[in-house]
Amino acid sequence: MLVTGFPAFPTAPVNPTERLIELLGERDLTIDAEVRAAVVPCAYGEAPAALEALGREYHPDIVLAFGLSRRAKSFTLERIARNLCTSDLPDTSGECRRGAPIVADSPGELRSTLPLVAIHKALRAKDIAADFSDDAGGYLCNFVFYLIVGHHIPSLKPAAAGFIHVPAFGTDTESPSQRFSQEILWRGACACLNASIESWRIKHIL
């Protein structure tokens, strides 16, 4: 499994998903699988090459990408990637691609291939707020989501791939009296990883 996050970007000086990648390198995982984690550049011109290099190095069966959403109040399980950049916000290199397709002559929408229902159930079982979404935004999150789920990175053709948004640290979540914290991020991410791996095993091994 390959887990990705993003660094800080304009309007977000702290990105929880960058911290998640650090935690995956610092803490022991109680997961019976090989997990690799990496931060993908928050830049349209750099992200595809970074994903290509990760695909060549790891050849993952599952790709689980995380990103920050200021609108999110829960682990937000994205169902649909759209073939269009719609954000006015420039990336970390100053580039804006508003109005541009992500991949020419490709479908307008692609669906996540992660076991989203199982992930949702796993999060709720740990009393962690979780919701489904059909709008991954129009910035780098949706851009990377579309590339990985559509197998548009030549070296990266996972059996399951998708995107999950998380709130900013300190955000009031939908769970009573819970603010989004590093520990909620960690516990929730582990639930997402475990559910994805278990689903993959059922389909491909059992």
- Catalytic residue positions? 78, 141, 165
Show the CA angle centred on residue 115, arms to residues 113 and 60, nearest 5°.
60
The residues, any chain, with a CB within 8 Å of residue 91's CB and separated by 6 or more, are 9, 10, 42, 43, 44, 45, 140
Rounded Cα distance between 127 and 138, Å, is 30
Q: What share of the chain is helix, strand, coil (3-state, %, to 5)?
A: 30, 20, 50
* Strand, coil or helix: 21: helix
Segments in 75-181 forming alpha helices (H) = 116-125, 140-149
Which of 108, 135, 140, 115 is CA-nearest to residue 192?
A: 115
Query: What is the residue type of 54?
Result: L
Using an 8 Å Cβ cutoff, are 90 and 10 in contact?
A: yes
Using an 8 Å Cβ cutoff, are 136 and 80 in contact?
A: yes
